[in-house]
Amino acid sequence: MQHFQHKIVNNIADLQTEQWDQMVDDNYPFVKHAFLEALEKHNCVGAKYGWIPTHIALFDAGRLVAALPAYEKHNNYGEFVFDQAWERAWNQIGLPYYPKLVCSSPYTPVMGQRLLIHPEYRNDNQLQAELFATYCSLCEQKKYSGAHVLFANQEQQAWLKAQQHTDNQLYHRLDCQFHWQNHNYQHFDDFLNNLKSKKRKNINRERNSIVESGICFRVLDGHQATEQDWRDFDYFYQKTFIDKWSTPTLNYDFFIDIGYKMADSIVLVLADLEGKTIAGALMFKSDSHLYGRHWGCRQEIKNLHFETCFYQGIEYAIKNGLQTFEPGAGGEHKIARGFSPTLIESFHWLPVNPFGDNLDRFILEEEAIIQNYKQDCLNHSPFKL
Q: Residue 165: its pLDDT value, please?
A: 80
Q: Does 328 fall in a domain?
A: no
Nearest 5 degrees, angle CA 4-CA 106-CA 162? 50
Q: Residue 164: its pLDDT value, please?
A: 86
The string of pLDDT tens digits covering residues 174-221 is 999 999 999 999 999 999 999 999 999 999 999 999 999 999 999 999
Q: Residue 1: its pLDDT value, please?
A: 55
Q: Residue 355: its pLDDT value, please?
A: 94
Neighbours of 215 (CB within 10 A): 19
Q: Residue 303: its pLDDT value, please?
A: 97
On whether both 45 and 162 belong to a single domain, the answer is yes
Q: Residue 127: its pLDDT value, please?
A: 93
CATH number of residue 57's parent domain: 3.40.630.30
Q: What is the arithmetic mean of pLDDT over 341-359?
A: 95
For the chain, what is the domain count?
Answer: 2
Q: Does 329 fall in a domain?
A: no
Q: How confident is the model at residue 26 (pLDDT cuts 50, 70, 90)?
A: very high
Q: What is the average pLDDT value for the chain, to the nearest integer? A: 95
- Residue 118's closest CA among 56, 37, 63? 63
Neighbours of 373 (CB within 10 A): 16
Q: Does 368 fall in a domain?
A: yes
Helix/strand/coil for 330: coil
Residue 21 lies in domain: 5-177+342-378
On whether both 312 and 213 belong to a single domain, the answer is yes
On whether both 88 and 221 belong to a single domain, the answer is no
On whether both 367 and 228 belong to a single domain, the answer is no
Q: What percentage of the chain exceeds 90 in pLDDT?
A: 94
On whether both 191 and 284 belong to a single domain, the answer is yes
Candidate from 118-127, 185-194, 220-229 with smallest mean pLDDT: 118-127
Q: Long-range contacts of range 304-309, CB-CB < 8 Å, 24 or more positions apart? A: 304/210, 304/215, 304/271, 304/278, 304/279, 305/279, 306/206, 306/337, 307/206, 307/207, 307/210, 307/215, 307/217, 307/271, 308/217, 308/269, 308/271, 308/279, 308/280, 308/281, 309/269, 309/281
On whether both 114 and 231 belong to a single domain, the answer is no
On whether both 150 and 227 belong to a single domain, the answer is no
Q: Residue 231: its pLDDT value, please?
A: 98
73 pLDDT more than 70: yes
328 pLDDT more than 90: no
Q: Residue 178: its pLDDT value, please?
A: 96
By CB neighbour count within 10 A (0-12 exposed, 13-18 middle, 19+ buried), where does 228 fall?
exposed
Q: How confident is the model at residue 13 (pLDDT cuts 50, 70, 90)?
A: very high
Q: How far is CA 33 from CA 12, 14, 290, 383, in A?
A: 7, 11, 19, 39
On whether both 117 and 211 belong to a single domain, the answer is no
Candidate from 50-54, 121-125, 228-232, 297-301 with smallest mean pLDDT: 121-125
Q: Does 164 fall in a domain?
A: yes
Neighbours of 115 (CB within 10 A): 24
